[in-house]
Amino acid sequence: MSGRGRIGLTGDVMLGRTVDERQRHRPPEAVWGTALDRLRGLDGLIVNLECCLSTRGERWTRTYRPFHFRGDPGRAIPALDAAGVDCCALANNHVLDFGEVALEDTLDHLDAAGIAHAGAGRDVDAALAPARAAIGGLDVAVVSFTDNTPEYAATEDAPGTAHVEIDVGNDDTRDRVAEALSRAREPAPDLLVASLHWGPNMVEEPPPAFEAFGRWLVDRGVDLVHGHSAHVFHGVEVYDGAPILYDAGDFVDDYAVDPDLRNDRSFLFEVRTDADAAIEEVRLLPTEIRDCRVHEARGDAARWCRERMRERSEPFGTEFERDGEGLVVAV
């Protein structure tokens, strides 16, 4: 398949804790707030699912974990379905917060709902397997990796995440990622996405190693790099015709808000492809989290998002056009 498409990408979608409590008393689609119509108008949606989906399991205690995120699948799956989520990146530092049984439940619930997923599995081979999704007229392949929480890494005989070191000089990383990309190309997709949960929290820019890794992925055929983890959005780079979203920030959660970094503000990133399935532009719609819902940001909040995005993207030479409350970058 090939052709025009409008694919949305978001940062962290955390449907546990207070978000889950609020969802007990409101319709499934309520978590998407005023962004719901925009999400439903897309051809497809890829998110980082920052929690497990289960009613089982015990909190991870083998190593110190300050936070544990688990959403009730009876509420979370209808919410994901209401927004039209096609694929969840699972390579992150929360899918094993309630142990192996909760991770396996997450996989089963997503499979039953027809939502593709990548980055975690019942063993390392499954964790490295690409997701495939038909989005509009496009065949999209997604691979997902994380450098967070090495104790959550899948092994040959234990569930977990697709864990790698973000270092292009690391032989194991190159081999593991190259294997995953090779699998994702069989058969050749229209669009190959690498979704990365990388780096520390509450930082405003990627380190040089991440820049090198993102470009290395593009050099190996990745069409779009989808970064997340910092809870703060980073700049956008267009490298050799491929957008690198270094960090998409937070999309919906219940986290405490830093008054300077404003981790409650980010964007819905909308990637548009042309008739030949090539990415032609990325549209950035400012968003803001309120009352455990995501909303389209307006006025001062949207202005803040635009100004920070321009500042954080300037080192990459990225130039944006204004589009209403949002921004557009040509590819």
Alpha-carbon distance of 13 to 251, in angstroms, equals 6
219, 192 Cβ separation under 8 angstroms: no
3-state class of 162 per DSSP?
A: coil
Higher pLDDT pick, 3 / 67: 67
Taking residues 37-62, report their average pLDDT.
98
Taking residues 3-18, report their average pLDDT.
96
Alpha-carbon distance of 183 to 160, in angstroms, equals 19
Beta pairing, strands 5-13 & 250-252: parallel
3-state class of 170 per DSSP?
A: coil
Vertex 209 angle, CA 247 and 246, to 5° = 15
Taking residues 141-154, report their average pLDDT.
98
Report pLDDT digits (tens) over 90-115. Answer: 999 999 999 999 999 999 999 999 99
138, 7 Cβ separation under 8 angstroms: yes
Alpha-carbon distance of 217 to 168, in angstroms, equals 9
Average of per-residue pLDDT values in the chain = 97
Amino acid identity of residue 273, one-letter, is T
Ordered by start, the domain boundaries in the chain are: 5-330
User: If pLDDT is split at 50, 70 and 90, which confidence band does 34 have?
Assistant: very high
**How many CB atoms are closer than 10 A to CB 321?**
11
Report pLDDT digits (tens) over 265-315. Answer: 999 999 999 999 999 999 999 999 999 999 999 999 999 999 999 999 999
Alpha-carbon distance of 34 to 36, in angstroms, equals 6
Alpha-carbon distance of 321 to 58, in angstroms, equals 48
Asked if the model's pLDDT at residue 129 lies above 70, the reply is yes
The two tokens of residue 222 are 């990745």
Asked if the model's pLDDT at residue 2 lies above 80, the reply is no
Report pLDDT digits (tens) over 62-78. Answer: 999 999 999 999 999 99
152, 114 Cβ separation under 8 angstroms: no
Q: Where are the alpha helices (DSSP H) in 185-287?
A: 208-219
Fold of 5-330: Purple Acid Phosphatase; chain A, domain 2 (3.60.21)
Report pLDDT digits (tens) over 164-223. Answer: 999 999 999 999 999 999 999 999 999 999 999 999 999 999 999 999 999 999 999 999
Q: Which helix (H) or strand (E) holds 236?
A: strand 236-239
User: If pLDDT is split at 50, 70 and 90, which confidence band does 1 have?
Assistant: very low
Percent of the chain whose predicted confidence (pLDDT) is above 70 = 99
What pLDDT is attached to residue 3? 76
3-state class of 84 per DSSP?
A: coil
Alpha-carbon distance of 239 to 112, in angstroms, equals 37
Report which of 264, 224, 269 is spatially closest to residue 42, judged by C-alpha positions: 269
Report which of 210, 9, 13, 181 is spatially closest to residue 95, judged by C-alpha positions: 13
Torsion on CA atoms 12, 16, 19, 23, rounded to nearest 10: 120
